[in-house]
């Protein structure tokens, strides 16, 4: 069966507009959580977010796209273009696909038009929301990139872009595609912020994942993509592998619309099956990039599932959402990039703002930057609403 190589990355988050900028911030422990500048909301002074530090006009200038497009499309294009740039003009004859994820779609534009539609009753205004649905975001970016082969959108809440990478890897392994740009993006919107606030799971301070006194999550925005290739494509494109996508799994505990089961049933299934798919045992995992949102339910259920799998030998583990915020449909792609960098550079990024051991866990996250580590296999978790749980295993190339 074909190996699936991750050969390049693209990422934009609140801590940086490209891979190297994000890496510098991760190593320096610099957070992107703070007051929103571009998202205009009633909660602007009260709810910190991980906002990308570029306006739509600035993002459009970076990409050459229309500034009137949804912000999710602009974020997606920035990171997708970074990931693809080294291989421009080199993929002739290769079966190429673009599998992208998001959950917000064009909501940022739709909610801005709501008042206008309500007050004017003008049916022509409705035509301005043609990019509302999630698939439209992928189509806009695919057209901009000139990808006309296999194009698909995945929207499974916060596991969305992890599932994009899983699907891309499966299609390469099966021989259906040679090259896949896989990941996802999401922007902040008032609708999302208000929805999460209604669930009472937002932190009014910078979040503290896996801390016993955690209060909730900070929403963020961003995009992250991996270019995946089989061996033939990598040779043709002169690509040097960063990592191998060696394992993956998706499970669903069907426990609750917005919460994981207290025991982390779906979390455990996804992790176990991803490790098994990679042909590994739990003892082979050197680092876990935790889903780690900072909510009471998520961290407890994920932590218990990890303890059930690894026992007293839990690997090094940390959540990077204290840097970026929870980027929703983009988090699996963003954190896949972070995992590829961890493998490449032998680093483990610290879990920011951790202070107190969780009482119901027998382990704690890494709280200082670790360097010079021989990381062979890294597990990345992305767990979504509705119990949609996905885990990916990245191995050293």
Could you give the CA distance from residue 102 to residue 187 in angstroms, rounded to a whole number? 9
Q: What are residue 248's DSSP bridge partners? A: 392
Cβ count within 10 A of residue 360: 12
Confidence of residue 122 (pLDDT cuts 50, 70, 90): low
In the residue annotation, 42 being an active-site residue is answered as no
C-alpha separations of 282 from 250, 274, 298, 302, 323 in Å: 17, 10, 21, 15, 27
Could you give the CA distance from residue 273 to residue 267 in angstroms, rounded to a whole number? 10
In the residue annotation, 158 being an active-site residue is answered as yes
Helix residue spans in the chain (DSSP H): 19-28, 56-63, 71-84, 107-120, 123-126, 134-145, 160-173, 190-198, 231-237, 265-277, 296-310, 321-324, 331-345
Q: Which of 132, 144, 326, 377 is catalytic?
A: 326
Domain spanning 246-396: CATH 3.40.47.10 = yes
In the residue annotation, 326 being an active-site residue is answered as yes
Per-residue pLDDT reduced to its tens digit, 21-37:
999 999 999 999 999 99
Angle at 345 between CA 344 and CA 350, to 5 degrees: 120
The number of C-alpha atoms within 13 Å of 299 and in the hemisphere containing its C-beta is 32
How is domain 5-237 classified at the CATH fold level? Peroxisomal Thiolase; Chain A, domain 1 (3.40.47)
Give yes or no for residue 53 having a pLDDT over 90.
Answer: yes
Q: Which of 291, 339, 377, 389 is catalytic?
A: 291
Q: Which two tokens stand for residue 119?
A: 């007050």
- Report the length, in residues, of the chain: 397
Could you give the 3-state DSSP secondary structure of residue 301?
helix
What are the boundaries of each domain within the chain? 5-237, 246-396
Hey, do 5-237 and 246-396 end up sharing a CATH topology, with the first three levels equal?
Answer: yes
Could you give the CA distance from residue 378 to residue 396 in angstroms, rounded to a whole number? 9
- Decide: 242 and 235 in contact? Cβ < 8 Å: no
Across all residues in the chain, what is the average pLDDT? 95
Average pLDDT over residues 334-340: 98
Work out the angle between the directed axes of helices 296-310 and 265-277 (0-180°, nearest 10). Answer: 50
Could you give the CA distance from residue 25 to residue 256 in angstroms, rounded to a whole number? 35
Q: Which of 158, 187, 207, 389 is catalytic?
A: 158
Average pLDDT over residues 101-110: 95
Could you give the CA distance from residue 177 to residue 229 in angstroms, rounded to a whole number? 9
pTM of the model: 0.96
Per-residue pLDDT reduced to its tens digit, 193-252:
999 999 999 999 999 999 999 999 999 999 999 999 999 999 999 999 999 999 999 998
SS3 of 304-344 = HHHHHHHCCCCCEEECCHHHHCECHHHHHHHHHHHHHHHHH
């Amino acid at each position: 069966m074909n190996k699936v190589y991750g050969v390049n990355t693209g990422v934009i988050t609140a801590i940086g507009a490209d891979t190297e900028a994000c890496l510098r911030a991760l190593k320096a422990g610099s957070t992107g959580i703070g007051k929103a500048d571009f998202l205009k909301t009633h909660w602007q002074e009260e709810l910190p977010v991980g906002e990308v530090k570029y306006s739509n006009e600035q993002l459009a200038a970076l990409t050459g796209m229309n500034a009137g497009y949804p912000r999710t499309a602009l974020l997606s294009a920035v990171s997708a273009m970074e990931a693809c740039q080294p291989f421009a003009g080199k993929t002739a004859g290769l079966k190429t696909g673009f599998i992208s994820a998001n959950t917000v779609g064009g909501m940022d534009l739709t909610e801005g038009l709501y008042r206008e539609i309500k007050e004017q009753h003008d049916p022509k205004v409705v035509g301005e929301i043609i990019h509302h649905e999630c698939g439209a975001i992928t189509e806009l970016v695919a057209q901009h990139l000139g990808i006309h082969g296999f194009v698909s959108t995945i929207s499974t809440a916060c596991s969305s872009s992890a599932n994009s990478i899983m699907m891309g890897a499966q299609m390469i392994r099966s021989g259906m595609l040679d090259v896949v740009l896989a990941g996802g993006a999401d922007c902040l919107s008032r609708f999302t912020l208000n929805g999460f606030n209604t669930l009472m799971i937002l932190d009014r301070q910078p979040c503290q994942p896996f801390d016993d006194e955690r209060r909730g999550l900070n929403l963020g925005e961003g995009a992250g993509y991996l270019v995946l290739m089989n061996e033939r494509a990598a040779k043709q494109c002169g690509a040097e592998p960063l990592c191998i996508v060696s394992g993956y799994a998706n499970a669903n505990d069907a426990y609750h619309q917005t919460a994981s089961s207290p025991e982390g049933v779906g979390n455990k299934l996804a992790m176990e099956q991803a490790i098994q798919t990679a042909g590994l045992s739990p003892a082979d995992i050197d680092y876990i990039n935790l889903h780690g949102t900072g909510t009471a339910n998520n961290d407890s259920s994920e932590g218990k599932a990890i303890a059930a799998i690894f026992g007293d030998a839990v690997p090094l583990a940390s959540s990077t959402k204290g840097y970026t915020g929870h980027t929703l449909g983009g988090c699996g792609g963003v954190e896949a990039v972070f995992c590829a960098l961890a493998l490449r550079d032998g680093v483990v990024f610290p879990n920011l703002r951790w202070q107190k051991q969780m009482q119901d866990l027998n382990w704690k996250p890494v709280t200082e930057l670790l360097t010079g580590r021989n990381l062979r296999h890294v597990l990345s978790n992305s767990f979504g609403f509705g119990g949609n749980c996905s885990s990916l295993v990245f191995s050293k190339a």
